[in-house]
């Protein structure tokens, strides 16, 4: 192994160690309460060294968000590989998201938080890799969803009047919107006065939305 390659591997290991430390602190103290000083202490680094790897807290948030997205994307890819109908895949995607939210609650809370952030507006103050990597995972999820709807149309379980790419965008857009709605509601922000005294969470909203979508797109002839 050459010197340059060894240094690059050492740098990548240090970067991962920092993200590991940041995860522990964020998951323990919460996103808003965690500071870069806390993360530097947990990583056993000087604050100056920490800033060599991550320019700000947002870049660390994006790195952890990317980890969660990578895990979720792998689970969604596994659904696509199952020998089931396209309609069953769509339902399985929603079930996968719900299961993920239960088994990986810390990452799920990151999703909820990050969905309330306009990533594009943060690009000037973040490493370009952070936004691009998260966007890439989002594109992979869109591709998997589109393929599931295509399979459903081909196997006759989903009505052929729908455009699979449009369905995928609508499915993901509605899912993200419901997660954002839940986040703002839980944070005490009144999205609409009529919702002020209603208790709900993202999981209930997603489950109900999935039922609505399945009923709307399924082929009644099968």
Q: What is the CATH number of the domain that holds 104?
A: 1.10.357.10
> Phi/psi class of residue 30: alpha, beta or left (left: φ > 0; alpha: ψ in -120 to 50)?
left
> H/E element holding 41?
helix 36-42
Q: What is the pLDDT of residue 100?
A: 84
Q: What is the CATH number of the domain that holds 41?
A: 1.10.10.60
Report the first-to-last Cα separation within the chain, whole angstroms.
Answer: 60
Q: What is the pLDDT of residue 153?
A: 96
Task: Report the alpha-carbon distance of residue 179 to residue 182 in Å, rounded.
Answer: 5
111 and 21 in a common domain: no
Kindly state whether residue 29 falls inside one of the protein's structural domains: yes
Q: What is the pLDDT of residue 187?
A: 61
The position carrying tokens 């009047």 is 161
Domain span including residue 150: 56-217
Task: Pick the last residue of a domain from 30, 54, 78.
Answer: 54
32 and 64 in a common domain: no
Q: Are the beta carbons of 93 and 162 closer than 8 angstroms?
A: no
Query: Measured over all CA atoms, what is the biggest interatomic distance in the chain, rounded to whole angstroms?
Result: 65
Kindly state whether residue 136 falls inside one of the protein's structural domains: yes
Kindly state whether residue 102 falls inside one of the protein's structural domains: yes
pLDDT tens-digit profile of 131-187?
777 788 889 999 999 999 999 999 999 999 999 999 999 988 887 777 767 666 666
Considering its fold, how many domains does the chain have in total?
A: 2
Task: Report the alpha-carbon distance of residue 195 to residue 200 in Å, rounded.
Answer: 9
Name the residue among 100, 203, 80, 99 with its Cα closest to residue 147. Answer: 80
The parts of the chain modelled with pLDDT lower than 50 are: none
Q: What is the pLDDT of residue 196?
A: 61
12 and 93 in a common domain: no
Kindly state whether residue 18 falls inside one of the protein's structural domains: yes
Q: What is the pLDDT of residue 209?
A: 86
The position carrying tokens 């604050």 is 47
4 and 61 in a common domain: no
Task: Report the alpha-carbon distance of residue 16 to residue 28 in Å, rounded.
Answer: 18
Q: For helices 128-155 and 164-186, give the axis angle rounded to 10 degrees.
A: 130
């Amino acid at each position: 192994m050459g010197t340059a390659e060894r240094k690059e591997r050492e740098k990548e290991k240090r970067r991962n160690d920092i993200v590991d430390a940041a995860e522990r602190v964020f998951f323990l103290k919460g996103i808003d309460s965690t500071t870069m000083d806390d993360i530097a202490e947990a990583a056993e680094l000087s604050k100056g060294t920490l800033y060599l790897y991550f320019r700000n807290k947002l870049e660390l948030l994006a790195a952890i968000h990317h980890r969660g997205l990578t895990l979720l994307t792998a689970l969604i890819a596994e659904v696509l590989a199952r020998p089931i109908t396209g309609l069953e895949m769509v339902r399985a995607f929603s079930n996968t998201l719900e299961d993920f939210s239960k088994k990986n609650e810390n990452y799920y809370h990151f999703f909820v938080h990050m969905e309330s952030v306009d990533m594009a507006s943060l690009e000037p103050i973040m490493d370009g890799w952070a936004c691009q990597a998260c966007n890439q995972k989002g594109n992979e999820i869109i591709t998997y969803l589109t393929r599931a709807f295509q399979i459903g149309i081909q196997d006759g379980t989903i009505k052929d009047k729908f455009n699979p790419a449009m369905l995928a965008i609508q499915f993901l857009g509605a899912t993200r919107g419901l997660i954002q709605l839940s986040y703002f509601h839980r944070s005490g922000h009144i999205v609409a006065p009529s919702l002020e005294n209603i208790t709900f969470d993202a999981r209930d909203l997603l489950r109900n939305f999935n039922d609505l979508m399945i009923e709307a797109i399924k082929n009644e002839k099968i």
